[in-house]
């Protein structure tokens, strides 16, 4: 039985992005030594989207499927205001049939997604 998931976020400046997740987003973490942090994530769900096969990352000598990290929230505009107060730049929100989304820039220059879903989610739902 699968018990947990582990997300790998590849960064050009991992130390800076680790500090961002710890101090700006305030995700709980443990230090495995030498500043190598593991973070607790909010509850998660997985969606499988179609791709063209070019979005891969080599890991452990195997081509792994690419993934995009979106953090989810209930009120996107209030989260964007909170992030702005901490000096975080977010892109202009875009509305779609599935929700309102933006991206936020990490201190390394990389970006991750942030969205307020308007569709049903698996968070707190029972599987059928």
Number of independent structural domains in the chain: 1
Domain for residue 101, yes or no?
yes
Is 126 part of any domain?
A: no
Note the pLDDT tens digit of each residue in 98-120. Answer: 999 999 999 999 999 999 999 99
In this prediction, residue 126 carries a pLDDT of 62
Instruction: Show the low-confidence residues of the chain (pLDDT under 50).
Output: none
In a domain, 9, yes or no: no
Residue 99 backbone zone (phi > 0: left; psi -120 to 50: alpha; other: beta): left
pLDDT value for 55: 86
Determine, yes or no, domain membership for 65: yes
Query: Is 124 inside a domain boundary?
Result: no
Q: CATH no. for residue 25?
A: 3.10.180.10
The total number of residues shown for the chain amounts to: 128
127 part of a folded domain = no
* Separation CA 102–CA 122 (nearest Å): 21
For residue 40, being part of any structural domain is answered with yes
* 22 found inside a domain: yes
Complete DSSP assignment for the chain: -----------SSHHHHHHIIIIIS---EEE-STT-EEEPPPP---------S--EEEETTEEEEP---EEE-S-HHHHHHHHHHTT--BPPPEEETTEEEEEEE-TTS-EEEEEEE-S--STTPPP-
Query: Domain span at residue 57?
Result: 14-117
Q: At 34, phi and psi to the nearest 5?
A: 55, 30
Check residue 70 and give its pLDDT: 96
């Amino acid at each position: 039985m699968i018990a947990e998931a582990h997300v790998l976020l590849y960064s050009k400046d991992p130390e800076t992005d680790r500090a961002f997740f710890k101090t700006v987003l305030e995700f709980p973490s443990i230090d495995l030594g030498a500043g190598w942090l593991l973070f607790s994530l909010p509850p998660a769900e997985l969606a499988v989207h179609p791709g063209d096969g070019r979005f891969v990352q080599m890991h452990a000598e195997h081509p792994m499927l690419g993934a995009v990290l979106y953090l989810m929230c209930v009120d996107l505009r209030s989260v964007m205001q909170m992030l702005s107060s901490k000096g975080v730049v977010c892109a202009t929100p875009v509305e779609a049939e599935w929700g309102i989304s933006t991206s936020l820039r990490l201190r390394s220059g990389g970006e991750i997604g942030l969205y307020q879903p308007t569709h049903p989610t698996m968070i707190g739902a029972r599987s059928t």
